[in-house]
Chains A and B, each alone.
Chain A
């Protein structure tokens, strides 16, 4: 895949969040979150419900603007940029709610993001190779609503990939998947990372995160609570306490 050259090749962190605050009414969904994402790595984010994980992703992508704080992507302050401008810089997201175009065919779903980088005559081939990568071969003409839940999740990831990002944000990519599908998803993510995409994953499935075996950040009450390798996090008594022994 040909990606846009990064602005600052020497910057180790592709993304930095500085003191992000987001207040909804009286609730501080994010409360001064500082987090750095290392380039070309997989980074997992876990935390109890309401810890601010999805809000954090929305801030990163510009779906919502922070009350205060900064988002630095590739050395550039993107805090005030609209979503489409961040996408053009190389960010892509798969939301928690599956966001595929239900009424359209699989091909049309991929056409829309692919068209930003390719001429119409090249799209068919690109779509084919993406579908192979996602284990969705031969589904081009299927209406997305007729795909299985897991297939729709993969397609949603595929659409984000079609935008050819340098940073891919995945909010609960395995929600509702069977064990086999979860394993496949894990291998898809590792392959992507191998191809040079930095991937940030929000997940609840601890087996899945153990399998990815990457830097893991724990969010709690809108702040960074702990960070380390997954085994370090697993051993952390404080983390175990906020999860009430579910680790």
Chain B
């Protein structure tokens, strides 16, 4: 799209590259391939237990991408992004419990876990954006919405809270309503009679999540570097100004909010399938703020940096938990210093330095070549 600053690489990677994402040149894409290769080979050199945990980290990645999309690119900070994660997880579970015996697969449940959060986002987002709510009001409203859902789900321990074969189960989380109902399943995809089952603790599940995350990341890269992405950024920088060009900012905000809800919902579906459980704690303050921390520490204005933030912090907190409670304080201190040192995000700041160093090096090399050519003449 933008011809003058691109490289030869742009010719092949066209829609993936653009000013809205960092890492456009060869070193980035080589690094990207190395990371994918390392993750793909992880089952070869990591223990089974680690692979199970890695699946969970990758699942968090979707949630980080969804918040980066609305907050980093469109300027909508939501402190309730985990609500869509929870809604997606519950929707998947409820539909799966009801339809598994009937269909023998979780295809419909998988789709429901994405669609239901979108419907919910369309309703709440429609109200918020068409009322022209902005900034901190949206952030707090979304947190309150999430807490309210959590509060409701917590008090559903009474056996009357059943939806068909699904019993909401209050604090204990979603479970089958009767002995004849199936247990909350992992992913089971089926076409006709052939069925592929992806147990949450299996390597195939890990590969499935890794593949989906890669596709989602690359897909979002294309999106934010498209015309739509430019307009999202316009809405972030100055919504009033963007509207004076004839864009219905409310509709743009609503559309990206719904898309982010779909991705967060997918995250919830995968989480429920991974652990075969879903409970109301996910709607609480902690999980909601955690998403904001991942994205802020990584760098909200770049999808990749937000993703790195989520993966690294999830990995670090799991490592530190095994070292005892004091370690979490250490993690907290690291976060505070990260925000002080690099308010735009650690990964973004590092990437910036790397970029500058590379450009400097290129400039040096090209002037060096120029000199040698002159000498030859």
Task: Using CB atoms and an 8 Å cutoff, list the residues of chain A in contact with chain B.
Answer: 61, 63, 82-84, 87-88, 92-93, 95, 99, 101-105, 107-108, 111-113, 115-116, 120, 123-124, 140-141, 159-160, 162-163
Contact = CB atoms under 8 A, between A and B. Distances in A.
B245 A163 contact: yes
B243 A99 contact: no
5 contacts: A82-B243, A87-B246, A112-B230, A124-B3, A162-B245
Interface stretch (B60-68, B233-241, B277-285, B289-297): B233-241
Contacts of B243: 82-84, 87
Given A92-B244, A112-B231, A160-B244, A102 B237 contact: yes
A21 B58 CA distance: 57
Contact of A84 (B4, B233, B247): B247
Top 3 nearest A-B pairs (CB, nearest first) are A87-B246, A113-B245, A101-B237
B17 to A, nearest CB: 14
Nearest to B3: A124
Nearest to A140: B4
Residue with the highest number of chain A CB atoms closer than 10 Å, among B5, B233, B234, B241:
B241
A245 B238 CA distance: 39
B246 A163 contact: yes
A101 B227 contact: no
A115 B227 contact: yes
B248 interface: yes
Contact of A87 (B1, B237, B245): B245
A101 B245 contact: no
Contact of B248 (A84, A101, A108, A120): A84
A123 B230 CA distance: 13
A167 to B, nearest CB: 12
Contact of A159 (B230, B233, B245): B245
A84 B240 CA distance: 9
Contacts of A82: 243, 248
A163 B244 CA distance: 9
A25 B300 CA distance: 39
A111 B240 CA distance: 17
A95 B240 CA distance: 11
Interface residues of B, number: 23
Contacts of B2: 107, 124
Contacts of A108: 19, 230, 233
A140 B4 CA distance: 9
B258 to A, nearest CB: 19
Contacts of A93: 244
Contacts of B3: 124
A163 B234 CA distance: 14
Nearest to B248: A84
Given A99-B238, A103-B237, A83 B244 contact: yes
B244 A120 contact: no
Contact of A141 (B5, B241, B245): B5
Nearest to B247: A84
Contact of A104 (B233, B246, B249): B233
B25 to A, nearest CB: 15
B240 A63 contact: yes
Contacts of A104: 19, 233, 237
Contacts of B247: 84, 116
A99 B244 CA distance: 11
Interface in B205-249: 227, 230-231, 233-234, 237-238, 240-249
Given A63-B240, A115-B227, 6 more contacts: A84-B246, A101-B237, A108-B230, A112-B242, A115-B230, A140-B4
B355 to A, nearest CB: 14
Nearest to A88: B246
A108 B20 CA distance: 10
Contact of B241 (A99, A111, A140): A99
